[in-house]
Amino acid sequence: MSFLEEIARRRTFGIISHPDAGKTTLTEKLLLFGGAIQEAGAVKNNKIKKGATSDFMEIERQRGISVATSVLAFIYKDKKINILDTPGHKDFAEDTFRTLTAVDSVIVVIDVAKGVETQTEKLVEVCRMRNIPIIVFINKLDREGKDAFDLLDEVEQKLGLRVTPMSFPIGMGYDFKGIYDIWGKKLNLFSGDNKQTISEGVEFNDVNTPELDEIIGETAAETLREELELVYEVYPKFDHQEYLEGKLQPVFFGSALNNFGVKELLDAFIEIAPHPQPKKAEERLVDSKEEKLTGFVFKIHANMDPKHRDRLAFVKIVSGTFKRNTPYLHVRNNKKVKFSSPNAFFAEKKEIVEESFPGDIVGLHDTGSFKIGDTLTEGEILHFKGIPSFSPEHFRYVNNADPMKSKQLYKGLDQLMDEGVAQLFTLDMNGRKVIGTVGALQYEVIQYRLEHEYGAKCTYENLHVHKACWVEAEDEKNEEFKEFKRVKQRYLAKDKQGQLVFLADSAFTIQMTQSKFPTVKLHFVSEFK
């Protein structure tokens, strides 16, 4: 298969939603359709305790939520599909925002009963800022929920989207009979026993035939006809170009847990979703069809396999072909590096790949040389944009609870911070370590992983800090900067890269500092250089 054909058959997308809308369950069912797994793990069923395929960290299985983005790949109808299943919980939003830099399109999952929730609004806003094509999947139709038209209105108003239904439910909750697939002109009837298997739709071109009354009953058939008429009148027809430009969002209805409406979603997705797109670097726009390799690290994961203490850097291939054992330039370090065992993913299962193409996600074994945002090329100096590192909102001192294990604690903290899970600051005055996170739940995850992956125990102490501000001085030798350091020495720290950080206790302190020391600039993002 030629290079251009390989690009055309790839689809790389993220699944985003508020926690508990059924995102991980949908991921499972997509894998089931792709034949990548034989049976779905009933995620919440405690008797089985299988856990979802994409939640492979031990803490995720215990809490029943996703805390890290996982990468899964499978082939469906000769298309290579790369899914990035993201955490929905707001405390792990930073991981999700970074992941959105590596996808070409997204599927937003919405719970039929709860409608549009706050976390969904934030994530969709990020997608809209970047004009990422969006497909909406309204989930859990087998439960009592909001009316289909009310939900479509809510999606339009709260998320600021322009929608067009591609399938439509027949009834809902107890009266749920199935789905009419507007895109494929099919009728798919619901029965409660297709949880683990795959149901096929029936070709049905004309909803006005009496046959429909026989299949679903007169009342349901009449309602469906009226609702479809309304859909055709009110909503715009699907336009592929508008979808690709992020101006029109197709909506599908279904029940992921019951395997329902997922096939319709997947069939339409592989036809309409974009293949790998060009990506903007600071220097220029990089087209996916270029022959020279470019790629960037959007995630680092320590201890994919706790027995081997391995770190993996997740690289999204933007252009060219990534080949095993070929030297590439690590732009930030200005060094040539080559990889003898690059991995492709299937949740925690990994396999070594000889070559990867644009759109693919490759896992590279890393001894600590990669940071999030690093670029790999064949020699060109490029820096890909838009990989955020936020100022933390929560701060705590970290204390070693087991003095015999201090080496393990510092190694663990070092590696977890490289993942971008949180940020570590060392106070200049006394060398105490402070962890800053975007969400409070991160502290539990760090504590759990330190103990189970590194054999180290830690405790926390609260620290009153409003914001971490990275310090940039116009001239480090001038008196003003020296005075700033003398006055603020109790609040100064170094981050992991050795940059000076001012831990301000209030917004007022930041204002006063800026007016008193005008030549000292304070930044809320670490990548200001």
Segment 476-506, tens digit of pLDDT: 788 888 899 999 989 999 988 788 999 988 9
Tell me the sheet residues that pair with 251: 136, 165
Binning pLDDT at 50, 70 and 90, where does residue 236 land?
A: very high
Question: Is residue 252 within 8 Å of 141, Cβ to Cβ?
Answer: no
Q: What is the pLDDT of residues 114-136, one digit of tens each?
A: 888 877 887 888 788 778 899 99
Does residue 164 have a pLDDT over 90? yes
Q: What is the mean pLDDT of residues 30-43?
A: 56
pLDDT tens digits along 317-337: 999 999 988 999 998 889 998
Structure tokens at 404: 């015999």
**pLDDT-based confidence at residue 388 (cuts at 50, 70, 90):** low
Q: Where are the domains of the chain?
A: 3-74+84-272, 279-377, 394-523
- Which residue is it, tokens 């001192």? 397
Tokens of 384: 């890909």
For the domain with range 279-377, which CATH number is right: 3.90.1150.10, 1.10.150.120, 3.40.50.300, 3.40.640.10? 3.40.50.300
- Rounded CA-CA distance 49/43 in Å is 7
Q: Give the pLDDT score at 390.
A: 62
Tell how strand 322-323 and strand 355-356 pair up. antiparallel
Instruction: Please state, as a whole number, how many other Cβ atoms lie within 10 Å of the Cβ of residue 125.
Output: 11
Say if CB 513 and CB 488 are below 8 A apart: yes
249 CA to centre of own chain: 19
Average pLDDT, the chain: 80
- The CATH number assigned to the domain with range 394-523 reads 3.30.70.3280
Mean pLDDT of 222-242: 89
d(CA 363, CA 297): 9
Backbone angles phi, psi at 407, to 5 degrees: -65, -45
Tell me if domain 3-74+84-272 and domain 279-377 are identical in fold: yes
Q: How far apart are CA 48 and CA 28, in angstroms?
A: 16
Q: Identify the burial level of 247 via C-beta atoms within 10 angstroms of its C-beta, where 0-12 means exposed, 13-18 middle and 19 or more buried.
A: middle
Q: Which superfamily is assigned to 3-74+84-272 in CATH?
A: P-loop containing nucleotide triphosphate hydrolases (3.40.50.300)
